[in-house]
Structure 1
Amino acid sequence: MTEQTQRPTGKTGATAPDTAAVRPLGEVRSWPRTFADRLTTPLPGIRGMTRLARERAVRPNAEGLRSIHRLPFAPVPLPLTDSGTCAVTWAGHASWIVRIGGLTVLTDPVWSRRILGTPARITPVGIRWEELPRVDAVVISHNHYDHLDAPTLRRLPRRTPLFVPAGLGRWCRRRHFTCVTELDWWESAELGGVRFDFVPSHHWSKRTLTDTCRSLWGGWVLGDRDGGQRIYFAGDTGYGHWFKEIGRRHPGPDLAMLPIGAYEPRWWLRDVHTDPEDAVRAYEDLGARAMAPMHWATFLLSAEPVLEPLTRLRTEWKRAGHARERLWDLPIGGSRVFAH
């Protein structure tokens, strides 16, 4: 798969203007049958699948698992916040508790011990579900099972506002959620003084044998209109041109939450998963003030040693000359509070 340097174009809004359209909450919309025109690179074919099966490189080997007991897990109570502060807490994988503008927002919440197709999680969830404050909203990046977990969503009141990619609303409404807002790339919606902007990513979607690219994929920029804090949540993505474009349209986010794991074998996953070095490049492209790594230390999704993502990230961060205090490499269950 080869990186394209040109932005995708098509009927589905990929070339929207810089000023994002603000959509009504809960709007029911019609979408094209497929979003395959948004793929940055072609999906792997039979030849790639055959090579992966031949190499059997889908999980860490015994040596790569040896440091599993050293994975960072240090849960603490959620910090106090007020109207002038913002807080993020890493629950594990791509699941964060974000408190911004007086709202509590969950990103890609997965509180289940197991997800389809992978072994049980190798670290517990960083905060017990019963200890969460009232959840005001949920954002979903795409429909893969490690990011869209039906058992976790069933724990929520059905009136909880969900912000999801285009094409995913029907799935949510079938589960009786009553306020589902589907957004295309570069569109936004607002809730309680917080703006939710949906932005592109280098990824894809699939949940069953027949729904490849039937819904969109992307990341989110959450912005507090009063306090001014802005957080970029990448979801799941490879490295590519979208980061500079997101940085141009949403300059200077206070924090970029970027994936650093599930990257080996590289020939297989380069186009859809950033490795630690890619994540640092993405941080630079975005022009963010700080970076928080995610998408590692939770599920065994690929072949790299379990502790390697953090080790490589810290090495690359130092090599690139970035200030150590701007790398928020939290343990699972860890939090950071910041003011604008």
Structure 2
Amino acid sequence: MSAHAHPPLSPPRPLGEVRSWPRTFTDRLTSPLPGVSDFVRLALRGERLRPSAEGRAQIPDLPFRPEPLPDVTAGELSVTWAGHASHVVRIGGLTVLTDPVWSQRIVGTPRRVTPVGVAWEDLPPVDAVVISHNHYDHLDAPTLDRLPRDTPVFVPAGLAEWVRGRRFTRVTELDWWEAVELNGEAGPVRFDFVPSHHWSRRGATDTCRSLWGGWVLTAPDGQRLYFAGDTGFGHWFAEIGGRYPGIDVALLPIGAYEPRWMLSPVHTSPEEAVQACADLGARIMSPMHWATFLLSAEPPLEPLHRVRAAWEAAGRPAADLWDLPVGGSRVLGRN
């Protein structure tokens, strides 16, 4: 195999398969986790993980323009941003939710600063849910509990037991580079679980007991969408782009990055997100993970200004940056 060759894609795993996993996934970390010394350093430097008062004054100007969900055919791909990492994705005739959080407040985080961009009652029937990892701002139990218990839920390795404990009956957990398929109107849609530069924890004793990652969704006609979940910048983007060429749309995080010395291993900056899009070989980038929960110190509007500047500096066409407002939608191939 040449230095630039990639292994073939794995055959799809059985839906709902019950599997065993190692006790920990700490060997998958690409950087050390923040420790007590980091929080001491944060305090000694007079820094914080929330915007300043001047930054919080920007909250009323955050983009929130909910629109009706677009009508799409089985051959079209659409993205609607509900806020943070939550999207309504239509692909291959399926409606897929990414990291759905419809709650106004999550554990350990102030109330969301923009409303949810899609009213729950306006959702079409949900065909599948993909979860990137188990942090509370990406895995929200009250939102999952609003779904029918036979909804297919695709999760990282080690997380199925938690979801099955909420009485979901069609739960599939995957390791990196594994896939499942779900039939849509036009044929099977493939869901591949891919690596990210992040970590997992939901309680005091379960650090890295489940995996973390992103998802590549591929329609029968070849349309392809990448959902990064939560991630820092690193080598995985080029690897993903090599294994899954022709990504049409990349949903990439651009917020929660300051202070940089502390958060760079796990959260991309806007400039890194633009570089990640290039490494993926993706044509379109749709920014996420900002304008919803204030998880870090940068001013709330700064990610949008910086990603637009970085996109322009990279010489990318303006039309290929889907800088959606919360509640906004775009359909591939439509103006």
Please confirm whether the aligned pair reaches a TM-score higher than 0.5, indicating the same fold. yes
- Give the letter for the 2:55 counterpart: G
Superposed, 1:169-208 pairs within 5 Å as 169-192=160-183, 193-208=188-203
- Give the letter for the 1:162 counterpart: V
What is residue 86 of structure 1 aligned with on the other side? 77
Find out whether 1:213 has 2:204 as its counterpart. no
Question: Which shows bigger deviation, 67-76 or 289-298?
Answer: 67-76
Find out whether 1:307 has 2:301 as its counterpart. yes
Find out whether 1:104 has 2:99 as its counterpart. no
Give the root-mean-square deviation of aligned CA atoms: 1.2
Superposed, 1:1-340 pairs within 5 Å as 17-54=7-44, 55-192=46-183, 193-225=188-220, 227-339=221-333
The answer to whether the 8 Å contact 2:7/2:243 transfers is: no
How far apart, in 2, do the equivalents of 1:76 and 1:18 lie?
Answer: 40
Could you tell me the TM-score, scaled by structure 1's length?
A: 0.94
The answer to whether the 8 Å contact 2:77/2:92 transfers is: yes
SS at 1:244 equivalent? helix
Deviation at 1:153, TM superposition (A): 0.2
- Give the letter for the 2:28 counterpart: R
Paired residues, what number?
Answer: 324
How far apart, in 1, do the equivalents of 2:75 and 2:33 lie?
Answer: 44
Deviations 1:173-192 (A, max 9, x none): 11110010000000000001
How far apart, in 1, do the equivalents of 2:277 and 2:75 lie?
Answer: 25
What is residue 3 of structure 2 aligned with on the other side? none
The answer to whether the 8 Å contact 1:261/1:275 transfers is: yes
- Give the letter for the 2:268 counterpart: T
How far apart, in 2, do the equivalents of 1:53 and 1:116 lie?
Answer: 22
SS at 2:138 equivalent? coil
Deviation at 1:339, TM superposition (A): 4.5
Q: Which runs of 5+ in 1 are unaligned?
A: 1-15
- Give the letter for the 1:267 counterpart: W
Deviation at 1:52, TM superposition (A): 2.1
Deviation at 1:69, TM superposition (A): 1.0
Deviation at 1:47, TM superposition (A): 1.3
Deviation at 1:17, TM superposition (A): 3.9
- Give the letter for the 2:211 counterpart: L
SS at 1:279 equivalent? helix
How far apart, in 1, do the equivalents of 2:52 and 2:99 lie?
Answer: 28
The answer to whether the 8 Å contact 2:49/2:295 transfers is: yes
SS at 1:157 equivalent? coil
The answer to whether the 8 Å contact 1:84/1:339 transfers is: no
Judged with a 3 Å threshold, the aligned counterparts in structure 2 of structure 1 residues 18 and 42 are, in CA distance, closer, same or farther, namely farther
Q: Which runs of 5+ in 2 are unaligned?
A: 1-5
How many percent identity over aligned positions? 70
- Give the letter for the 2:112 counterpart: R
